[in-house]
Amino acid sequence: MKKRIGSYPRVRIEGGGRAVVSQAGGVLLIETVRKSGLDQAISAALALWRKARAVHGPGKILLDVALAVALGGDCLADVGMLRAEPGVFGPVASDPTVSRLIDALASAGSKTLTAVRSARADVREHVWKPAGRSAPDAARQVIVDLDGVLVLAHSEKQDVTATWKKTFGHHPLMAFVDHGPQGSGEPVAGLLRPGKRGQQHRRRPHHHSQLALAQLPKKYRRGRQTLIRTDSGGGTHEFLAWLAQRGRWLSYSVGMTITDAIHEAVLKAPPAAWTAAVEPSGEIRDGAWVAELTGDVLKGWPKGMRLMIRKERPHPGAQLRFTDADGLRLTAFTTNTTGVPIAALELRHRQRARAEDRIRAARATGLRNLPLRETAQNRIWLEIVQLALDLLAWMPMLALTGETRRWEPRRLRLRLFSAAAQIVTTARRRRLRFARHWPWTDVITDALARLEALPNPG
């Protein structure tokens, strides 16, 4: 009987293996690119930057970097993982070629950003149609969540400043389309800002919302069927007036700061004005109530605005604030939605917390840090991150079902994208053979079958 040494079997290591593909599950993203037409749209948008007799097109290079980021990369050099597998990802540009393209796109400024964003908007409208019930607009309403992301910097970079959390870095403003409780979400706008907001951003408070609306299909760029949700950072007279402007007529659910006037109105609210808050399942939320305030507290605000107050017992260990009352935590939000119970409106606003999940996914997909030095270069990087997040949202929306649709990028990489396969050429066709013993091989093959069944773009 042989004596075992250690807990794991010992294997001999040799180099020179052939016909074995690592990150073979990345073919799911490639098929998503193909069926969405993203490769054609990006190539057409960046055709002006293609040099004569160039081997690699700028659109293919940019998408290769986005694919590397979607697979877990966090810098331009990580495109090397695609270059190592030409049988799956095709010819991939060298690191110097990638760097030169990023510099060229950055030097073009807003012209490049406009081209890439326009291509993404066109493809988004095409992707939502075959998604059916999984599409973000399946309920005939699109919800856009706005929120900021702190990106720390550990070296000197342009526009890096101290942040409001006493750290050092940038503070990009992001917008995500909510896919609901059964899905994830996709980015529709990313605006790079210094860690501490400058005066140039205060003069353009609606620029970010305009970028987000421009990414939606045309029928959702105005009208009540589009809901804008923000935290209390959006609770200003100017922003709310812009949302409700005549001809725009957007729906909104915006957090508000508890002022002295609002606090006094809460204290005067009779017990009969309070309604029990509810959970997503419809059950009553224990220890939480919601009420609507009217009267003088709404003077000076846009017509049709409704002010909601929520009070709840603080969680264990939470500290009460000066704006709280009677040992209960107070929060406020405003909306212009009518004909819906106030408990349902409060639940809808509370579900804005799903934006934190989108931010966590963005941090795990290239937004943990901004790897380049110049602001113009990092603006291109932010567009690359959004391309990667688009693919990570579109692939589950089109190809996955059930619980797998809710998998975040880290789980997708661990279970699907990292799967290895054998590449075989038969009858002049290249095939990938995934290992039968891999627990999620059926998920991969079923997803590929759904993607192949979709109509081709154009």
- pLDDT (0 to 100) of residue 220: 94
**pLDDT tens-digit series, residues 246-266:** 888 899 999 999 988 998 898
- pLDDT (0 to 100) of residue 16: 56
**pLDDT tens-digit series, residues 32-45:** 999 999 999 999 99
- Compute the distance between CA of residue 22 and CA of residue 203 in angstroms, rounded to an integer: 49
Contact 67, 82 (CB under 8 A): yes
Range 108-136 average pLDDT:
94
Percentage of the chain lying above the pLDDT 70 cut: 95
**pLDDT tens-digit series, residues 401-430:** 999 999 999 999 999 999 988 888 887 788
- Compute the distance between CA of residue 107 and CA of residue 374 in angstroms, rounded to an integer: 10
Q: How many CA atoms lie within 13 A of 408 on its CB side?
A: 13
- Compute the distance between CA of residue 211 and CA of residue 57 in angstroms, rounded to an integer: 27
Residue 421 has which token pair? 């396969």
Contact 171, 149 (CB under 8 A): yes
* Residue 356 burial (CB count, 10 A): 11
- pLDDT (0 to 100) of residue 202: 43
pLDDT confidence band for 245 (50 / 70 / 90): confident
pLDDT confidence band for 201 (50 / 70 / 90): very low
Answer whether residue 385 shows pLDDT above 80: yes
Phi-psi region of 92 (alpha: psi -120 to 50; beta: other; left: phi over 0): beta
pTM above 0.85, yes or no: yes
In the chain, what are the helix, strand and coil shares in percent, each to the nearest 5?
45, 20, 35
Residues 170/171/175/178 CA torsion (nearest 10 deg): 100
- pLDDT (0 to 100) of residue 441: 94
- Compute the distance between CA of residue 31 and CA of residue 26 in angstroms, rounded to an integer: 9
- Compute the distance between CA of residue 350 and CA of residue 247 in angstroms, rounded to an integer: 28
Answer whether residue 114 shows pLDDT above 60: yes
- pLDDT (0 to 100) of residue 198: 40
Rounded to a whole number of angstroms, the CA Rg of the chain reads: 25
Range 311-322 average pLDDT:
77
Answer whether residue 443 shows pLDDT above 50: yes
Contact 416, 409 (CB under 8 A): no
- Compute the distance between CA of residue 251 and CA of residue 225 in angstroms, rounded to an integer: 7
- Compute the distance between CA of residue 294 and CA of residue 334 in angstroms, rounded to an integer: 12
- Compute the distance between CA of residue 329 and CA of residue 364 in angstroms, rounded to an integer: 32
- pLDDT (0 to 100) of residue 203: 42
Opening angle at CA 45, ends 398 and 128, nearest 5: 20
pLDDT confidence band for 327 (50 / 70 / 90): confident
